[in-house]
Structures are given as C-alpha cells and as structure tokens.
Amino acid sequence: MQYTTYERGSVTVRYSTFGEGRSTHELHAVATVADASRTFTEQLDSVAEALTVFGSTPEANGYRPIVARLLLSDAANQAEQALERFKDIFPLTTYIQQPPLNGTKIAVVAYYRTNAEVKRTDNHTIAIESNGLTHLLSAMLCGAAPRTYTETTNQLDALERTLKSHGGNIADNCVRTWFFVQNIDVNYSEVVRARREYFNEHGLTEATHYIASTGIGGRHADRAITSVLEAYSVVGLRRDQVKYLYASDHMNRTSDYGVTFERGTAVDYADRRHIFVSGTASIDNKGQVVCKRDIKGQIARMIENVTELLNEAGATFANVAHCIVYLRDTADYRTVNATLRHTLGNIPYVIVLAPVCRPEWLIEMECMACVSKESKV
C-alpha cells in the first residue's frame, strides 16, 4: 500500500493506492478541511473543488471516481446542498450526520479505481462489471416507518430486491453493511432484532455465516428516519473466495449476545484480497467491555483486536487502505487523535462523533485493507 498526501488550500486529501503492476488499481481517500471558521458553503466548496482538481492530477490519472460518503455536522441543514454540489463529481454520493471531530463541518471518504465502467441501476445503487463479477454499492436505503424495526426490515427487503435483479441475494452476495442509527442507545435493539429475524428467514444463521458490518450512531436529514442502511455486494463470487474472520482468542462470536454480524470478511480475487474489518471496539473473548471509562485503555484494546483480525487474513496495518474511527465523547478527541497519529502513521483516517452500539464503548474503528494475492482462485 502506498500512502500520499495532496493539499489544496485548506483541504488535505490523504490517500492510499494499491495495484502496482496490475491491470486494476484502486485508490482510497479521506478529505478533511483545516479551517473550522469558514461557513458550511465555503467548506463544502473547498473540499468539492479539491477533490475535483485532485481527480485530474498526475497522481490520480486514470482513476475513476466511484463513491463518496459525506460526513456532515448537521445533515438537516446541509445534506441537500452537499448532494447537489457532489452530484457531478461521483457516480454515487451518500451522506450521514457524523460530525468530524476536528471541529469542521464536512469530511469525505472516497473510493476510486481504474478499469471501471459504472452503471446506475436505481436511485440507490451503482454497478461495476469486472472480470465476470458485478460489484454493487447501495447507499441511503431508508424510509420513515412507525418503528425502527419496520424501517430495518424494509431496508433489507430493498437490498434483497436489488440483488435479485442482478441474479444474487443477501445471503450469498452481500459482503459488507453499515447501519447508521439515530439515537442508537434507544433504537439499536430494534435494528438488531429486525436483522436477526430477517437473516434467519433468508438462510443466514450462526451455523452458516453473517456479514461484516458496522452498527453505529448516525442521522439522516429527515428526523423521522431512525435507521439508514448501506451495503457492498458482489454477484458472481464463489463460496471459496470468501473467508470470515473471528480473532477468537481476542473476541467472542457476536451471536453469543444475539447480534448477527461477522467480525470481518476477506474476499479473494485473482490478484488481491480485500479485507473488511467490521466496527471493532474494546471487547474480550467473553464479550465483555475492556477498560470501562478508560479511553486510553480502550484505544489500545481496539487496535489489538483490529490487528488480530488483519493478521487472520494475512495482513497488517501496513495493508490498510483507510480507517474510520467513531467516538462517543468529543472530549476524547485530542487524546485519540494523538494516539492514532502515532499508531496509524500515514494511513488515511477520520475521527467522527458517533456513539457506539453499547454505551460503555467509548471508541470503535472500522477499516478496509488490500493484500497482494499472486495465486489464482
């Protein structure tokens, strides 16, 4: 993995590239704004312009913009304007209210790749055809309903319909999900119950497998919507191309406490392995929170757990393409950022305000990594 920084005005784009000597290259970028005193419109324009110009630089030459997630400080007042500003920059733009904790109003996590023909399949999904596989990115699957349980069920139904239209289904083809939950301390239990029941009805059980996932605090612009689903799926994968990660010496199975997701997933292609590490916190192999009320201790255990998941997939932090770090308490930002600068080095990352699904967890991290794989699969 190669790490580079591009700066334009008050915007810093930290990015990683993978694929040297291969037919397809990929680029993961995190764009942040330095000047918190500027208005939202000014910050939005600066980051949009920076990413537009970045796309035409020699370093990004040949990379096709694929998807951008906008991390906003106030979605109700910002989302419409932000989506309009980004609509011609990325084929798929999504957003969630998860304020960047450097005090600014917007940050962007973006993905680019070469040799990509992108097609929009519906209002929420784009498809990339590559080497006989269909990669589907689905965003902003949501809709107000009387209960979060119903919202979540409807979201999973929508994802299943999309996958079926491409010859797939959730059980066989969904690789990664994100559930963004408003007032997560109250509403997450209904997301968990709806997902567990839906998965059970569709052949996803403890005896088969679940899906790598992050369930985290986040808000849609519409306050009536309490849950938002995003997903990455691949139609055409063989079962032997997918490996589930457990790090069982360090963490318990999520099913032990009734939650239905995998700690991580590795997907093998002809020349690379993609590793998706789910939202990972300070937990032990009995499902207990480690270092309650101690942010420094929780950072250390979180990093240890992520390291074990990466190692299980044949990777280290040197292979990580990008990270998103979720914090419950803004007061912990300086401590966390200082530690991560030392631990993560040049890896693109962003820290946002987003409570984790269990109140005792002060911090959580997710990441994606890429590893060279020379043997055919």
Q: Convert the pLDDT of each residue in 54-79 to its tens digit.
A: 998 988 888 999 999 999 999 999 99
Q: What average pLDDT score do residues 312-322 get?
A: 97
Q: Does the pLDDT value for residue 214 go beyond 90?
A: yes
* 8-40 pLDDT tens trace: 999 999 999 999 878 789 999 999 999 999 999
* 168-184 pLDDT tens trace: 999 999 999 999 999 99
Q: What average pLDDT score do residues 253-264 get?
A: 94
Q: Which residues contact 224 (CB under 8 A, 6 or more apart)?
A: 144
pLDDT tier at 374 (50, 70, 90 boundaries)?
Answer: low
The residue with tokens 């029941």 is 197
CA distance 78 to 31: 17
Q: List C-alpha distances in Å: 31 to 40, 64, 82, 160, 318.
A: 15, 17, 14, 32, 20
Q: What average pLDDT score do residues 193-210 get?
A: 96
Question: What integer best gives the mean pLDDT of the chain?
Answer: 96
**Do the first three CATH levels of 1-116 and 267-377 match, i.e. the same topology?**
yes
CATH 3.30.70.270 fits 118-237, yes or no: no
pLDDT, position 375: 37
Q: Which CATH architecture has domain 1-116?
A: 2-Layer Sandwich (3.30)
Q: Which residues contact 230 (CB under 8 A, 6 or more apart)?
A: 94, 138, 139, 140, 141, 177, 178, 180
pLDDT, position 254: 94
168 DSSP 8-state letter = -
Q: Which CATH architecture has domain 267-377?
A: 2-Layer Sandwich (3.30)
CA angle in degrees (0–180, nearest 5) for 316-321-323: 90
- The residues facing 179 across adjacent strands are 215, 229
Q: How many CA atoms lie within 13 A of 32 on its CB side?
A: 18
Neighbours of 358 (CB within 10 A): 18
* Domain map (residue ranges) of the chain: 1-116, 118-237, 267-377
Q: Does the pLDDT value for residue 377 go beyond 50?
A: no
pLDDT, position 1: 94
Q: Could you give the 3-state DSSP secondary structure of residue 342? A: helix
Q: What average pLDDT score do residues 182-207 get?
A: 97
Q: Does the pLDDT value for residue 376 go beyond 60?
A: no
Q: List C-alpha distances in Å: 146 to 137, 154, 160, 191.
A: 27, 12, 21, 13
Q: Which residues contact 350 (CB under 8 A, 6 or more apart)?
A: 30, 32, 71, 100, 107, 109, 323, 324, 325
Q: What average pLDDT score do residues 41-49 get?
A: 98
pLDDT tier at 293 (50, 70, 90 boundaries)?
Answer: very high
